[in-house]
Amino acid sequence: MSKKEFYIGWQGKMPENTRKFLKRFLWIAMALIVVMAIGLVFFEKPFKKHFFNFGQLDQITGVYYDEPYPFILTDYNAESGQAKTVLLVGSGKFGAKGIMDKIQDKSGALSGIRITLEGTLISGDGKTLLELTNGTDALKEMLNVELIETPAPPAPENVTLQGEILDPKCYFGVMKPGEGKIHKSCAIRCISGGIPPVFRASEGDSQDERYRYYLLLDQKGNPCNKEILPFVGEPISLQAISTKMLDWDVLFVNIKDIKTQ
């Protein structure tokens, strides 16, 4: 009879030496598992300190504008020119235009009117967005018509920039992370669904991660969501005309002047 142990699964008991061997193996495997799990977290890229107030509805009051993308001007100081805009986005991977159009079908045109909207706040790196979580129920109040004389934009400038086109809804808070290759398809779907494309240009070196954000429009200042889809979520360089719209930097870009890197 061979003295070597022979394991048979359907027998109740495992041979003694095999049991001891596997016990040792299990301890080593478990230790490796723990080290791996810790290492994988430890060497992860830190998430941006952006914020999505999931599950909580907030109300925001300001003057509504339809173009180039629906937004609300919540705060404006004519003297200093300081302004605070809140970009509006829809639920899921959609822009706010569809919802705001439906609201205006009932309420009449809202552009230039002070209104109160309810939704979920998204904010990060100085930018704020409001998701109209409850769709057409978002409009809570219509106040007065308010004519605001917005400051003349600075002289347009030709710029060459490097960076990435992002969807601001995910990037500024809904998703962690909301950038780069892993988020590329989602960003494409969001921008395709009408969420305003935002170009993030790096400022300073890659270590300190300071960014400048631009709303991306075509040369005539119109939305260009579908046209820029091939360039979303990857390193690109572009030549464009840069200007400002209230607190947002804006780029007027010819699609031909966008290059993948």
Partner 1 sequence: MSANYTAILWNQQKKLYDRYMWLGIGLFMLVYAVFQLWLQPSITFETLIIRATALAAFVLLHLILAIGPLSRINPAFLPLLYNRRHAGVSMFILALIHGAFCIIQFHALSDTNPLISVFISNPKYLETSQFPFQTLGFLALMILFLMAATSHDFWLSNLSPAIWKVLHMGVYVAYALIVLHVATGAFQYENHPFNWILLFIGFWGISGLHVYAGFSERYKLNTHKNILAENGFYQVCRVNEIENTCAKTAFINGENIAIFKYDGKISAIHNVCKHQMGPLGEGRIVDGCITCPWHGYQYLPHNGQSPPPFTEKVKTYDVKILEGYVWVNPVPKEEGTFVEPVIIEKA
Shortest Å distance, C-beta 15 to partner 1: 9
**Residue 7 or 58: which CB sits closer to partner 1?**
7
Q: Please list, in sequence order, all residues whose beta carbon lies within 8 angstroms of the beta carbon of residue 165, skipping any fewer than 6 positions away.
A: 187, 191, 197, 198, 199, 200, 216, 228, 231, 232, 233, 236
Q: Are 111 and 64 in contact (CB under 8 A)?
A: yes
The only residue of 28, 38, 143, 145 in contact with partner 1, by rule CB under 8 A: 38
Q: Which of 187, 92, 86, 100 is nearest to 129 (CA)?
A: 86
**Residue 64 or 172: which CB sits closer to partner 1?**
172
Which secondary-structure segment (H or E) carries 72? strand 71-76
Does 36 bind partner 1 (CB under 8 A)? Our answer is: yes
Q: Which of residues 207-246 bind partner 1 (CB under 8 A)?
A: 230, 233-234
Q: Which of residues 149-188 bind partner 1 (CB under 8 A)?
A: 175-177, 180-186, 188
Does 11 bind partner 1 (CB under 8 A)? Our answer is: yes
Could you please report the per-residue DSSP string of 177-223?
S-SHHHHHHHHHHHHHTTPPPEEEEEES-TTT-EEEEEEEEETTS--
Strand partners of residue 127: 124
The only residue of 69, 76, 94, 172 in contact with partner 1, by rule CB under 8 A: 94
Chain contacts with partner 1 (rule: CB under 8 A): 1-2, 4-12, 14, 17-18, 21-22, 25-26, 29-30, 33-34, 36-47, 49, 51-52, 91-94, 175-177, 180-186, 188-190, 192-193, 230, 233-234, 260
